[in-house]
């Protein structure tokens, strides 16, 4: 009988060199460890978090192997053939997120100072197993892992993705899937752009019409949608378990047409604007002189802060072309103190650097190096999102079926060949929290659209955020990326198979 397609036994295990993002240091050896059906996952720590990480690891490799992979303590030592996770809180060299991975014929040992490091070591381990490990049904082995040692820790603490759920709504299941994909590539900040002219996507209990009315529209006249606070909390918890912080953004004082449609009393003349489903920007504004505006902002930020365990709330601040400049300054300064009064730190698009910023606030660079510099001169930190390099909504080539081109066309190579520390004169590495890749969704209505624009460019951003700049070249990266084609396919990711990459 002919073998079923795809049922052939796995070839040699992936080389250490194919891991994305590239680890800090690696010493591969000849030979392989074989994961056997009776393998155990042993946790050498009493911390509940370490056991939780071990369970997530087991869950990620059970479906394809069909092995039981029981998770347990280390009484009596780890039997041969085990995967051991050890927490070693005193091990300073590993940092908050680093890990050491040692693979011998007898077993695999992951050591980290914190649970996050164990989690990232687990992601590396997944990538060292054949791509079929990502299948959600049982596949034939053998499940080999190349021998050697990896020592790894990130360059930047902020390794982000932004998803615009306002222009087109993308629901809980899609966001959770994105979190899974982010985690595999060691990304740890998910910025959700929750409101814009075309739709408001997070329920605010004190202003219910924001979603019941403002949530009903989308670019191109789609039907919109929104997260209830329960749904949103589910996303936050799912992310947190995978060491991802969710940063909520409500854009203001511009990009607010959907809010004004829902509550015309927020406009200066009290007249409701028409709902908007086109792609224009810069035409709407909150009414800066009205006291009600600040009650609204305070209510929204209070409810968002209560849903947010992380330190940051994003307040937008971009493209406020219909707000007078001096009013913009007064407004943003007041918003910053509202965010602070809710116990959070403000992050805003780079335009917020025009105002007097606190040192605890963060500006997100997207366009103007002068504003980036102005933020750091005030002692604030930066998240780097230079549009021509990291905007995932730019087309790959002029012929890409979806995407925009205002910042240029961004090939997979363009998206990879840049460095955060050389984007703006006067901005040094220590001013930078990290990198974030935004996906604006004017042209991304479906999950397949999101996949196409995000992948494979997101893997390059993950590497820029995690790996030292020194060891990176496009020539080597394109070869390493090619090895991720089968893995992304096994994960069901409809990526753009760019001809720049020698896909396997």
Rounded Cα–Cα distance for residues 109 and 103 (Å): 7
Q: Measured from the CB of residue 402, what is the shortest distance to ligand TNX in angstroms?
A: 12
134 or 251: whose CB is closer to ligand TNX?
A: 251
318 binds ligand TNX (CB under 6 A): yes
Q: Measured from the CB of residue 278, what is the shortest distance to ligand TNX in angstroms?
A: 12
Query: Does the annotation mark 303 as catalytic?
Result: no
> Looking at the chain, how many residues does it have?
504
Rounded Cα–Cα distance for residues 457 and 442 (Å): 18
366 binds ligand TNX (CB under 6 A): yes
**Residue of 319, 327, 333, 500 with catalytic role:** 319
336 or 393: whose CB is closer to ligand TNX?
A: 393
Of the candidates 316, 202, 311, which has an alpha carbon nearest to the alpha carbon of residue 262? Answer: 202
Binds ligand TNX (CB under 6 A): choice among 281, 329, 409, 497: 281
331 or 366: whose CB is closer to ligand TNX?
A: 366
What is 422-475 written as a DSSP string? GSSTT--GGGEEEEEEEE--SS--SHHHHHHHHTTHHHHHHHHHHS-STT--HH
Contacts for 149 with CB less than 8 Å, ≥ 6 apart: 26, 27, 100, 101, 102, 103
393 binds ligand TNX (CB under 6 A): yes
Q: 432-439 and 158-164 as β-strands: parallel, antiparallel, unpaired?
A: parallel
Site string for ligand TNX, 401-430 (x = CB under 6 A): ---x--------------------------
Interface with ligand TNX: number of residues (CB under 6 A): 10
197 binds ligand TNX (CB under 6 A): no
412, 394 Cβ separation under 8 angstroms: no
442, 466 Cβ separation under 8 angstroms: no
Site string for ligand TNX, 218-257 (x = CB under 6 A): ----------------------------------------
109 or 355: whose CB is closer to ligand TNX?
A: 355
320 or 427: whose CB is closer to ligand TNX?
A: 320
Rounded Cα–Cα distance for residues 299 and 289 (Å): 17
| Site of interaction with ligand TNX (CB under 6 A) | 281, 318-319, 349, 366, 391, 393, 404, 440, 442
Q: Active-site residues: which are they?
A: 319
């Amino acid at each position: 009988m002919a073998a079923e397609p795809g049922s052939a036994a796995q070839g040699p295990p992936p080389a250490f060199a194919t891991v994305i993002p590239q680890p800090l240091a690696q010493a591969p050896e000849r030979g392989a460890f074989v994961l056997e059906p009776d393998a155990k996952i042993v946790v050498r720590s009493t911390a509940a978090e370490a056991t939780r990480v071990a369970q997530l690891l087991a869950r990620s490799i059970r479906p394809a192997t069909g092995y039981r992979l029981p998770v347990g303590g280390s009484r009596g030592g780890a039997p041969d053939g085990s995967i051991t996770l050890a927490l070693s809180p005193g091990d300073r060299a590993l940092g908050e997120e680093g890990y050491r991975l040692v693979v011998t014929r007898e077993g695999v040992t992951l050591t980290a100072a914190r649970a996050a490091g164990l989690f990232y070591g687990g992601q590396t381990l997944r990538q060292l197993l054949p791509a079929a490990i990502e299948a959600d049904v049982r596949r034939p082995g053998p499940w080999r892992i190349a021998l050697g040692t990896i020592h790894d820790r990130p360059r930047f603490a902020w390794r982000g993705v932004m998803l615009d759920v306002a222009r087109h709504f993308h629901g809980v299941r899609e966001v959770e899937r994105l979190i899974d994909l982010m985690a595999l590539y060691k990304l740890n900040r998910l910025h959700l752009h929750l409101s814009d002219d075309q739709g408001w996507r997070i329920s605010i209990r004190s202003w219910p019409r924001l979603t019941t009315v403002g949530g009903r529209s989308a670019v191109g006249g789609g039907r919109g949608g929104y997260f209830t606070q329960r749904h949103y909390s589910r996303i936050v918890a799912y992310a947190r378990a995978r060491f991802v912080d969710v940063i909520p953004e409500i854009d203001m004082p511009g990009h607010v047409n959907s809010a004004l449609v829902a509550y015309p009393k927020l406009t200066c003349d009290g007249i409701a604007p028409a709902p908007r489903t086109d792609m224009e920007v810069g035409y709407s504004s909150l009414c800066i002189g009205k006291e009600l505006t600040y009650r609204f902002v305070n209510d929204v930020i209070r409810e968002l802060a209560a849903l947010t365990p992380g330190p940051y709330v994003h307040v937008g601040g971009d493209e406020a072309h219909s707000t007078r400049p001096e009013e913009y300054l007064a407004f943003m300064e007041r918003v910053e103190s509202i965010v602070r009064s809710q116990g959070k730190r403000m992050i805003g698009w780079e335009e917020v650097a025009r105002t007097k910023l606190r040192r605890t606030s963060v500006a997100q660079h997207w366009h103007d190096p002068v504003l980036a510099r102005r933020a750091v001169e005030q002692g604030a930190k930066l998240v780097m999102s230079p549009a021509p390099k990291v905007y995932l909504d730019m087309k790959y080539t002029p012929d890409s079926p979806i995407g925009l081109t205002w910042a240029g066309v961004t090939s997979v190579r363009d998206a990879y060949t840049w460095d955060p520390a050389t984007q703006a004169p006067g901005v040094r590495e220590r001013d930078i929290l990290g990198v974030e890749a935004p996906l604006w969704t004017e042209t991304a209505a479906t999950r397949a659209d999101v996949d196409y624009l995000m992948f494979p460019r997101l893997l390059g951003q993950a590497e820029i955020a995690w790996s030292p700049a020194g060891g990176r070249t496009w020539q080597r990266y394109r070869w390493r990326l090619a090895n991720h084609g089968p893995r992304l396919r096994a994960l069901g990711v409809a990526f753009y198979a760019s001809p720049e990459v020698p896909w396997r």
